[in-house]
Structure 1
Amino acid sequence: MARFLTNRNFLATHGERYRALCAHGGYDAEPITLPDDPTVRLDPAELTEIEIACCTDDFEADPSFTRRFLGSALRAPNLRWLQLPNAGIDHPVFGQLLAQGVTLTTASGVTAEPIAQTAIGGLLALARGFPRWEEARRRHQWLPHPSGQLPRDLRGQTMVIVGVGAIGNQIGRLAQALGLHVIGVRHRARTLADHVDEMHPPSALAALLPRADWLVLACPLTDRTRGLVGAAALALLPVGAYLINVARGQIIDEAALVAALQSGRLSGAYLDVFAVEPLPEDSPLWELPQVIISPHDSAAASGNAARIAELFLRNLRHWLQHEPLENAVAAPG
């Protein structure tokens, strides 16, 4: 008997559609979920029967469940395909699964809209001075902006987005609606579907940074992007620029970022991701008043699980018909 490893939420909401698709395609893989007791593993016989797997629960939300689910996938010797609930593939287990010949499909694009909305929320909060107002509220102070320190108009400012995929494009769309001039940085050339005013290759980043009122990181973590934004890159930004990171924490040299914020070279930052997560209690980032922090939660939205399920069910149709899968990760080499 073949098995389908999944999570309980998927079975409760989409189990009937899954079974109907399998029946139509002549495929029989009985759903199986992890035991309720977190100390209990699936037995070896069950693991041997698992051929496909899908999780619609956010891997970032429950690290314990994530370790158990991915551990089971890694120990399933006949696993052929795993649908992930997240876009990033920098977790070491994913490389191991690819090396074992497992097909991985990501949820790229599924959370692009909520992440973009959160990023723009951070931008608006910083641009309009919400951190200052919030600090005044805590102190019960009535503190309007002084006439000589009014917020700059957003219209006409420039945003540089590093990584113009699904997330970067959604951020660009919203930024353009606010009147910003949007510059994208990625390897592929600009297309009509891209919400940017200019597109440049990564090799041009150093020349673009002096133009950036807002530097937005929305790129994957790779060997090329790790440590991309360090002291040298931050020094190229105009004095008073802002930084937004909804990509991965390791893309930034956090010590250099703290120094730039403390010196006033950067006016502020919205950070959703960090080099070490959870962010250590002794990190100086917690104490900087011009920094907005979210706990790697920018993608949170009630509709994500349903969107991931729909993606999996579309891919299941493709898989049963031996067609290319959406968001398939290229095998190494």
Structure 2
Amino acid sequence: MTLTYLCSLPLPDSWFDELQKRMPQVAVHRMTPDTPPSAEVLAAVDLLHTSEWLPASVDVPALRLVQLDTSGVDHVRGTTLWESGVPIATLGGIAPVPMAEYALMSILELSHRMPLIARHRLDRSWPSNAERLASLTPRQLSGATVGIVGYGRIGREISRLATTFGMTVLGVSRSGARVAASGGTAEKFDTGRQTIDDDPAELFPIDRLDEVLRRSDFLVVVVPLTELTRGLIGPAQLDLLPHGAFVVNIARGGIVDERALLERLRDGRIGGVALDVFDEEPLGTDSVWWTEPGALITPHVAGLAPQYHAQTLDLVVENLTRLAENRPLLNEVDRAAGY
């Protein structure tokens, strides 16, 4: 059986050469803004490999799988592809390690007051001894508690790293149940390192989030954006955090109330923030976040994976093989859950 594969992503020629080498029975088609797919290709495509380009379902009648180049699916909800019921698979499993490393980097930078130190560097200002003691004394990680809102593969890898610093980990998920490292009943793409055989975290269901917030010296948000999580961390939730707590958001904009977070950062209720995602992206040049003291700001880079090309190829080859053999797909989205 010949499968038709269509990709809208700007991957290098060598990537497609390797795909064709590993899957010679697959008809590989590429598209660019200057070379849109023909109606014939659209009508025949079995697997669409894409990110933002989402054709109307009526134009892809043979489609059997949408393989996203993202871990989140919030941009797909509401489209005809979502409503069609055609299976959708995510890129999940490629980024847990770099995202966890980013989270720990943020925790370390915030605890050591690096945003304020960076401001001193920009101003060429050497603080006095009194200023250093008052504003640049670090927050000790050993013995501190980190609350991880979204305790899947990324959350477990954050937990693994945080415990090496002597931190107590509180994990929040929908059910609060401990699941296998591969994640639930659906088969997941797994690069291996994020597996935790003896997970030390204390787990909580989402309806006990307030309890976790009251105990969290550091809050890391890594949940997918769904109707359940939109606005999840608002003013009331931020006010439950201990005075001077730090907030790290590597999930999606719209989950943490940015205005409320900014107000509490400025009045000292929040000790520092690290934001990799925002309500509106790209972040506008006039945004106050660019120059806000106490804020570590990055341009949605936490999920960039050093082995992206090789790992993505492995995932696509595996799902093409499973399509050909009519086997369950890797990383298939649970539409009811929203991810």
1:71: which partner in 2?
Answer: 55
Deviations along 1:224-281, one digit per CA (max 9) or x if unpaired, are: 1111111100111111000000111101111111111111100110011111111233
**What CA distance in whole angstroms lies between the structure 1 residues aligned with 2:27 and 2:47?**
10
Q: Is 1:103 the counterpart of 2:122 in the alignment? A: no
**2:124 aligned residue:** 140
- Assess, with a 3 A threshold, how the Cα gap between structure 1 residues 165 and 49 changes in structure 2: closer, same or farther: same
**Aligned AA (1:42):** P
Q: CA distance change for structure 1 residues 13 and 152 in 2, over 3 Å: closer, same or farther?
A: same
C-alpha distance in 2 between matches for 1:91 and 1:250: 13
Q: Label 1:232 to 1:41 Cα distance change in 2 as closer, same or farther (>3 A).
A: same
String of CA shifts for 1:182-229, please: whole Å, max 9, x gaps. Answer: 000112412574744200111111122111100110111111111111
Partner of 1:217: 221
Aligned mate of 1:32, from 29, 34, 37: 29
Q: 1:332 to 1:229 in 2, by over 3 A?
A: closer
Counterpart of 2:36 in structure 1 is 41
Give the corresponding residue for 2:155.
168
Offset of residue 168 of structure 1: 1.0
Amino acid at match of 2:42: L
Report the counterpart of residue 62 of structure 1 in structure 2. Answer: none
Per the alignment, residue 183 of structure 2 pairs with none
TM-score of the superposed pair, with normalisation by structure 1:
0.86
Structure 1 window deviating more from structure 2 (197-206 vs 316-325): it is 316-325
**Mapped contact 1:182–1:196 kept (Cα < 8 A):** yes
> Which residue number corresponds to residue 26 of structure 1?
none
Q: String of CA shifts for 1:129-173, please: whole Å, max 9, x gaps.
A: 211221121222333763455212110000000101111111111
Deviations 1:55-82 (A, max 9, x none): 5xxx4xxxxxx3xx33388732321112
Pick the aligned partner of 1:158 from 131, 145, 153. Answer: 145
Letter aligned with residue 184 of structure 1: G
Instruction: Indicate whether 1:131 and 2:115 are aligned.
Output: yes
Structure 1 residue 14: Cα displacement: 5.0
Quick check: 2:147–2:216 contact (8 Å CA) kept in 1?
yes
What 5-or-longer segments of structure 1 have no aligned partner?
24-28, 60-65
Contact 2:100 2:157 in 1 (8 A): yes
Gaps of 5+ in 2: 180-195
Deviation string 1:1-37 (CA, Å, 9 cap, x unpaired) is 86310246365225345454454xxxxx4111114xx
- 3-state SS in 2 of match to 1:9: coil
Asked if the contact 2:54/2:81 (under 8 Å) is kept, the reply is: no
* CA apart distance, 1:113: 0.8
Which of the residues 107, 110, 113 maps onto 2:97? Answer: 113
Paired letter, 1:146: R
**How many angstroms apart in 2 are the aligned matches of 1:73 and 1:135?**
50
Tell me the CA shift for residue 39 of structure 1. Answer: 4.8
**As a proportion of its length, which structure holds more helix?**
1
Give me the whole-angstrom Cα distance separating, in 1, the residues matched to 2:106 and 2:295: 10
SS in 2 for 1:164: coil
Aligned position for 1:296:
300
Q: Secondary structure at the match of 2:285?
A: coil
Aligned pair in 2 of structure 1 residues 20, 113: CA closer, same or farther (>3 Å)? Answer: closer
- Counterpart of 2:223 in structure 1: which amino acid? C
